[in-house]
Amino acid sequence: MREIDLLSSRLYVGAGMRVQAGPILRKLLPEARRAFLLTDRNCARYAGQVSKSLAGADLEVETHALPSGEIQKKLSTAGRLYGVLADRKVDRRTVFVAVGGGVITDLGGFVASTYMRGLPLVTVSTTLLGQVDAAIGGKTAVNLPQGKNLVGTFYQPRAVLLDPAVLESLPARDYVSGLGEVAKYVIIRDATLGALIEEHIEEIRGRDPGVLEEVVHRCAAIKAAIVTEDERESGLRAILNYGHTIGHALEAAGNYRTLHHGEAISIGMEAEAILAMELGIAPLEMLAAQNRLLKLCGLPTRIRKMSQKKVLTAMKLDKKGVDGRLRFVLPEAVGKVRWPVEVPASLIAAALRTVTA
């Protein structure tokens, strides 16, 4: 087990972390007597293992399972959960435990942060996307029809449990989607991680738990260091949004059904690297190196029949914009990015034509 400190949170990385949830929670929150466990139906097996561990630590556990999918990450679902918490007489000494992928940890974190002005929160991430990114850093959010993650809070969990062993059962498309965020870390901060991926790509494709633990730990450590320096995204943390300005808009334009998150981020990275090249910020070799990495991971760099008009409309709601002007994180080289960069609308439209042709 490896531990990473992140402000008031602690990350635990290693095989078997899910069955250590009870002892970890008991150590961190000795006064806790109840746990409300939120999960989705795809994670019933792992949620059951977490529940058993919590019960073994003398916690009364109540479980609530949602249908799976990004469609659940909305205000109406949060509203129903508030009602469930009230009906079950959940109080501020009840620990909210979110077991699942990014949808559950985002939604659960949002509900935990706002019910009774904050319940103690523990997250157990069950996807690669969650373990390297979504479950780390204290951002919670729900989507609106107009855009992704437009309503949310900053709220640090007491603990985040990252167990690479659970990734063995992840559907292939979800697993590859998670590699989109891994590739992002290579471009924004750590070129040596790219070398590790290239050297161990067969083990990564085969979901070797030892290699995955190293990948998860390195990504989590990068994000923890960035968030520790800039929790509220007033400066450095913005670089974590590389590929996301266009990527989030692609997700919204597809009604959150056409593309998985990591797929959208991969295409967004391709488009934003094209912008960097057109502006003279990055050489063609950088775009080629990123493209090679994305393809090595099995990620898409194009999406056919996507409405450019819908993508541009969704981009106008990007949270990083100021006075209606979009600001981008753009790469200078593998491992180094520049922020903020304002980009002419004509170049954005041209890059979108390239990746949606």
| Annotated catalytic residue 291 | no
Structure tokens at 80: 């129903």
Q: Considering all CA atoms of the chain, what is the largest pairwise distance in Å, rounded to the nearest integer?
A: 61
pTM of the model: 0.92
In this structure, the number of other CB atoms found within 10 A of the CB of residue 324 comes to 6
Inter-CA distances, 48 with 39, 84, 88, 230, 265, Å: 10, 20, 19, 35, 32
Other C-beta atoms closer than 10 Å to the C-beta of 34 total 16
Say what angle helices 191-199 and 209-229 make with each other, to 10 degrees.
170
Active site residue: 189, 218, 223, 261, which one?
223
pLDDT tens, position by position, 281-323? 999 999 999 999 999 999 999 999 899 999 999 998 775 655 5
Domains of the chain: 2-168 (3.40.50.1970), 172-355 (1.20.1090.10)
Marked catalytic residue, from 31, 89, 117, 305: 117
Residue 87: CB atoms within 10 A of its CB come to: 8
Active site residue 260: yes
Out of 70, 181, 270, 272, the active site residue is 181
- The Cα–Cα gap between 245 and 347 comes to 14
pLDDT number for residue 322: 58
Catalytic: 143? no
- Indicate if 148 belongs to the active site: no
Q: Which residues, in sequence order, are bridge partners of residue 152?
A: 141
Q: Active site includes 316?
A: no
The residue from 10, 189, 218, 260 that is catalytic is 260
Residue 67 per-residue DSSP state: P
Q: What is the pLDDT of residue 323?
A: 57
CA gap 239, 217 in Å, rounded = 19
Supply the pLDDT for residue 291. 98
How much is the pLDDT for 317?
79
Q: What span, in angstroms and rounded, lies between the C-alpha atoms of 329 and 58?
A: 47
Is 309 an active-site residue?
A: no
Residues of the chain with pLDDT under 50: none
8 A C-beta contact, residue 99 and residue 62: no
Helix then strand then coil, % of the chain, to nearest 5: 55, 20, 25
Selecting among 10, 158, 237, 261, the annotated active-site residue is 237
Catalytic residue among 10, 18, 73, 139: 139
Q: Check if 261 is active-site.
A: no
Annotation marks residue 64 as catalytic: no
- Catalytic-role residue among 70, 213, 214, 233: 233
